[in-house]
Chains A and B, each alone.
Chain A
Amino acid sequence: MIDQILMLALALFSLSIAITLYRVIKGPSMPDRAIALDTIGVNLLSAIAIVSIVLKTKAYLEAILILGILAFIGTIAFTKYIERGVVVERKSNH
């Protein structure tokens, strides 16, 4: 029973990633794509959590945390590039 529920949740997460992928490809503006990539990261993280329940292992928990950190830093870099035009600034302007 629990296996069917986990598989259903995994399928729904895959569907969600597929729908978000449509927004990455189609998205009219760059902020749409940045937010869609962040959403894909979070959904992928949840899918890894479900896979680690299915496989009955604790070895993927670090991967979940690292993926969260990388999605956060990547989204900040994308948004900074969209808004300022540079990712790494040399000097602060205040």
Chain B
Amino acid sequence: MKTNDVIIQFTAKIVFFIIFFFAIHIFLAGHYTPGGGFVGGLLASSAIVLLVLAFDINTVRTIIPVTYTTLTACGLIIALATASFPMLLGDPFFTHYFDYFTLPLIGKTSLHTAMLFDTGVFLVVVGVTMTIIQTIGEDE
């Protein structure tokens, strides 16, 4: 049967970017408002799931050429490196540092090393969710 799903594919192309930028917003706003690495990662993977639903799994693998198990490993390494870096400076494991910097365009910003740990959480959540969905979806 010849199927034609031009409307869902066109909608997915636009809505993917809306969901992905909202995921980035949730991820960056996690320190002061509800959100953080976990919800941001789930939203980013749900944006990829929307692409998988609208197209198919091989097309999405061509669009986003990422091995999700490697992504999970990278996230774990980033989280572990952030946690163990203070030990080199003589501080306890998981000590976080923060300071105020004046960035161009943004102005005075508080940068915190908890952000790096959250990046690890984000990558692990995206990697694990997409690995589960790809493994189940490829099963014939």
Binding site for B on A (CB under 8 A): 59, 62-63, 65-66, 69-70, 72-73, 76-77, 80, 84, 87-94
Contact = CB atoms under 8 A, between A and B. Distances in A.
24 contacts: A62-B26, A65-B22, A66-B39, A66-B43, A69-B19, A72-B15, A73-B53, A76-B8, A76-B50, A80-B53, A88-B53, A88-B56, A88-B57, A88-B136, A88-B138, A89-B57, A90-B56, A90-B58, A90-B138, A90-B140, A91-B58, A92-B55, A92-B58, A93-B2
A66 B43 CA distance: 8
* Chain B interface, DSSP helix/strand/loop, else mixed: helix
Which 8 pairs show the lowest CB-CB distances between chains A and B?
A: A88-B137, A89-B56, A92-B56, A76-B53, A59-B34, A73-B50, A91-B58, A90-B57
Contacts of A73: 46, 49-50, 53
A76 B52 CA distance: 11
Interface in B118-140: 133, 136-138, 140
A94 B59 CA distance: 12
A73 B133 CA distance: 14
A66 B22 CA distance: 9
Contacts of A66: 39, 43
B33 interface: yes
A62 B34 CA distance: 8
B8 A69 contact: no
Nearest to B134: A88
B46 A87 contact: no
A77 B3 CA distance: 16
A90 B55 CA distance: 9
